[in-house]
Structure 1
Amino acid sequence: MTNDVVLVDAHDVQIGVCDKRLAHLGTGKRHRAFSVHLIDSGGRHLLQRRAAGKMLWPGFWSNACCSHPAPGETVLDAASRRLREELGICASCRFLYSFEYHARFGSIGAEHEFCHVLIAQSDALVYPAAQEVSEIQWWTRAEISAQLSEAQGQFTPWFRMEWRRLLSEHPSFDVPALQI
């Protein structure tokens, strides 16, 4: 796969292609991304701690899988590919919503993403790729909300934004409702 990301305008229309690292330097260039929330049949959410080698937010907790579609690749195809590459699982994803955000990581760089938020369900064993993920944990919604309320909790900014919206717009989100 290419190391390029798709640059987009405020409506997610492609306006170019850029090296992934360059897209995250400085204030960042707006690019297409996705974020997968993986839920098991018991209603628990898989969270991952980002690997120490990640350029932005290393060691921070986030949702199961976040990445970028390659040029010419659909968001759903990219999400399925990255679930296999990062976590070693096959799961179908369903679109929930999209949003744009901008978050700086000190002087190192920034995320400026038009992010498509997806949901998937799986009870498969997870085999995290060490270069991407340092740790995984299955948590209930209540456990995640409690962790997020702690001042010292290290969570990625996009996960915090997505979690608030999931709770407000999908308060009774449970596995039987998924029907994936």
Structure 2
Amino acid sequence: MKILDKHEIVSFENDQLILVNNEDVSVGKMAKIECHLGSGHLHRGFSVFVFNAAGEVLLQRRSASKMLWPLYWSNACCSHPRYGESDTSAAHRRLREELGIRAELDFIYKFVYRAEYENIGVEHEMCSVWIGMAEAADVRVNENEISDWKFVSMDKLEKDLKTSPDTFTPWMKLEWLRLKNEFATLCPPRWQKRHES
């Protein structure tokens, strides 16, 4: 098993991403940097939420070197499948590359969003949302991608989202709202019990 190099470069501006239409049908490919410039181009992305056995949520703070939303808090892992790569393979690959985590992942839902970051760039994604389980001992952070990380309780996350919403990435806020309101029964047992009471 490959040990994560905490300084390994795993993301490149010339990575070829998958362009799609609103039905998620592939319509070509484009370099990552080009996908995110101008008005943006709709491309496939994915987002992974990781919980521990206590039902806490893993958050990462994005690296200061990120072009879009640097130093914002977000869910455990979010990125893009490369051209010719499946969403499933990409989600597992990126979870290993960013956090050193190997975990079973369950697909939850897919949605389209578009968000602009200052005058710098745009995320316009057909985003697949996944969940998985891991513990703090499993985490080995890639410092090129992540500046900080933590597990937090759902109550703490809810409080922070209300009091400091501008410190979180826009996709994370949209995804968390749907996970909480529509897919709670698919998430960890303690979350289910909390929503059933």
TM-score calculated relative to the size of structure 2:
0.86
- Superposed CA offset, 1:128-164 (max 9, x none): 1111100001011111110000146400000000011
Please list every run of at least 4 consecutive aligned residues from structure 1 whose deviation after the TM superposition is greater than 3 angstroms: 171-174
Query: Could you say if the C-alpha distance between residues 56 and 17 of structure 1 is closer, same or farther in structure 2, counting changes exceeding 3 Å?
Result: same
Matched, 1:19 2:27: no
Paired with 2:166 and 2:75, the residues of 1 have a C-alpha distance of 14
Alignment coverage as a number of residue pairs? 178
Q: Which residue of 2 aligns with 1:92?
A: 104
Query: Could you say if the C-alpha distance between residues 16 and 152 of structure 1 is closer, same or farther in structure 2, counting changes exceeding 3 Å?
Result: closer
Q: Retained in 2: the 8 A contact 1:26–1:107? A: no
Q: Which residue of 2 aligns with 1:54?
A: 66
Paired with 1:152 and 1:76, the residues of 2 have a C-alpha distance of 29
Matched, 1:42 2:50: no
Q: Retained in 1: the 8 A contact 2:46–2:78? A: yes
Paired residue secondary structure (2:33): helix
Correspondence list, 1:5-154, <5 A: 5-123=17-135, 124-151=137-164, 153-154=166-167
Paired residue secondary structure (2:184): coil
Paired with 1:113 and 1:121, the residues of 2 have a C-alpha distance of 25
Cα root mean square deviation, aligned: 1.8
Point out the structure with the larger helix share.
Answer: 2
Query: Could you say if the C-alpha distance between residues 152 and 71 of structure 1 is closer, same or farther in structure 2, counting changes exceeding 3 Å?
Result: closer
Paired with 1:117 and 1:148, the residues of 2 have a C-alpha distance of 19
Give the letter for the 2:87 counterpart. Answer: V
Q: Retained in 1: the 8 A contact 2:35–2:42? A: yes
Paired with 2:45 and 2:153, the residues of 1 have a C-alpha distance of 25
Q: Retained in 1: the 8 A contact 2:54–2:190? A: no
Give the letter for the 2:145 counterpart. Answer: E
Give the letter for the 1:143 counterpart. Answer: K
TM-score calculated relative to the size of structure 1:
0.93
Query: Could you say if the C-alpha distance between residues 173 and 44 of structure 1 is closer, same or farther in structure 2, counting changes exceeding 3 Å?
Result: farther
Paired residue secondary structure (2:147): strand
Paired residue secondary structure (1:165): helix
Paired with 1:145 and 1:27, the residues of 2 have a C-alpha distance of 31
Provide the identity percentage. Answer: 44
